[in-house]
Amino acid sequence: MFQTLYSYFWWERLWLPANLTWADLEDRDGRVYAKASDLYITLPLAFLFLVVRHLFETYVATPLAGLLNVKEKVRLKATPNAVLEKFYAATSKHPKQADVELLSKKSGCTVRQVERWFRRRRNQDRPSLLKKFREASWRFTFYLIAFIAGMAVIVDKPWFYDLREVWKGYPIQSVLPSQYWYYMIELSFYWSLLFSIASDVKRKDFKEQIIHHVATIILISFSWFANYVRAGTLIMALHDSSDYLLESAKMFNYAGWRNTCNNIFIIFAAVFIITRLVILPFWIMHCTMVYPLDLYPAFFGYYFFNFMMVVLQSLHIFWAYLIIRMAQKFITGKVVEDERSDREETDNSEEEEEVAKNGPLSNGHPVLNNNHRKTD
């Protein structure tokens, strides 16, 4: 049964145009072609990336954070309470007012204490500023190096300037060593992102991030199987062109360099919109959808590849919406924040109400001398 499924999966009509077989893509006369077995190396490389990331965040990103004065914020911890902890873990992290009143009776705490406990408990689960900085530093470093490497791989190729060259002689197109390593490193990195997504900073677009990583892995893998390597290198370099700008903006934001962050963000927004909403759909996707039909009839691989491109493009539109919202805040003079991030709930959330009644608070108690600021 396994052999039957294997045969159906690698049926040539799924992956290759008519009148072509896998035998046509066997290495010969010094020409090397993409093979599915090449991708086995990406899984151990992905785990190697996780090790390198840990070392980078420990010995590079953390000292850099210290130089930029990115500090761990001291958070007030929720007092251990079995009743509240059980509700928090099993029912909801955001109890309704009726639940708060019921929990107050069960736990012996006041309503105010229950509300404070849940605020502090939620904050305990939120990533620290240092964690966010370290993660952004790692991604910035990879995306910048990947973009430079990607441009080095494709800038001297004829299909970089004439997209019809992408399909010249397809699929009988030999794979260069630079293309091989570019593919293996990019795919390995996205595998590592998928493996670490559960422990990484969770944002509001968590589900979209999973879809993006899975779609990217499938797209890169399929383009390698079907020898869409020329188109694949163009797409990967196009994506890397804006990602490192976003991560650098995050780093400066976490460091408190607001003006630098805002300026980089505006550059990022412009590059993102130009590359993802203009060049990708009107040049690259036109290249993958229209030009191949001049050479061979559409087949399953053609439809599948372009369907995955549409999935990615849909995510780009979603993220462009968030980016435009942030750009509007910047233009109107508001501080640019990551729309995908949850804001931290400090005790100020509840103390603001108390300030209006009793004046400023210190650790939940009124400050006697209101003429002096409390220093951190």
Domain count, the chain: 2
CB 87 within 8 A of CB 102: no
CATH number at 107 reads: 1.10.10.60
Shared domain for 138 and 202, answered yes or no, is yes
- Mean pLDDT of the region 318-324: 90
- Residues 6+ away with beta carbon under 8 Å from 251: 68, 133, 136, 137, 140
Residue, of 197 and 53, whose pLDDT is higher: 53
Note the pLDDT tens digit of each residue in 83-135.
888 888 888 888 888 888 888 888 888 889 888 888 888 887 777 889 999 99
Shared domain for 89 and 212, answered yes or no, is no
Task: Measure the CA–CA gap between 253 and 133, rounded to whole angstroms.
Answer: 9
Round the average pLDDT of the chain to a whole number and report it.
83
| pLDDT for residue 361 | 37
103 by Cβ neighbours in 10 Å (0-12 / 13-18 / 19+) ranks as buried
Residue, of 6 and 301, whose pLDDT is higher: 301
| pLDDT for residue 62 | 94
Shared domain for 92 and 223, answered yes or no, is no
User: The pTM is what?
Assistant: 0.79
Distance of CA 32 to the CA centre of its chain: 33
Distance of CA 160 to the CA centre of its chain: 26
Shared domain for 286 and 160, answered yes or no, is yes
Shared domain for 180 and 93, answered yes or no, is no
Task: Measure the CA–CA gap between 116 and 365, rounded to whole angstroms.
Answer: 13
Shared domain for 116 and 254, answered yes or no, is no
Shared domain for 115 and 151, answered yes or no, is no
Work out the percent of the chain whose per-residue pLDDT is above 90. 44
- The two beta strands, 361-362 and 365-366, are antiparallel
Residue 18 located in a structural domain: no
Residue 299 located in a structural domain: yes
Residue 94 located in a structural domain: yes
Residue, of 376 and 152, whose pLDDT is higher: 152
CB 132 within 8 A of CB 57: no
Question: Which range (17-31, 87-101, 160-174, 235-249) has the least confidence?
Answer: 17-31
Overall residue count recorded for the chain in this entry: 376
| pLDDT for residue 360 | 38
| pLDDT for residue 29 | 77
Shared domain for 160 and 227, answered yes or no, is yes
Distance of CA 29 to the CA centre of its chain: 41
Residue 213 located in a structural domain: yes
Residue 340 located in a structural domain: no
Residue 200 located in a structural domain: yes
Answer yes or no: is pLDDT of 375 > 70.
no
Which domain does 92 fall in, by range?
82-125
Note the pLDDT tens digit of each residue in 5-38.
877 777 877 788 877 788 877 888 778 888 888 9
Residue 348 located in a structural domain: no
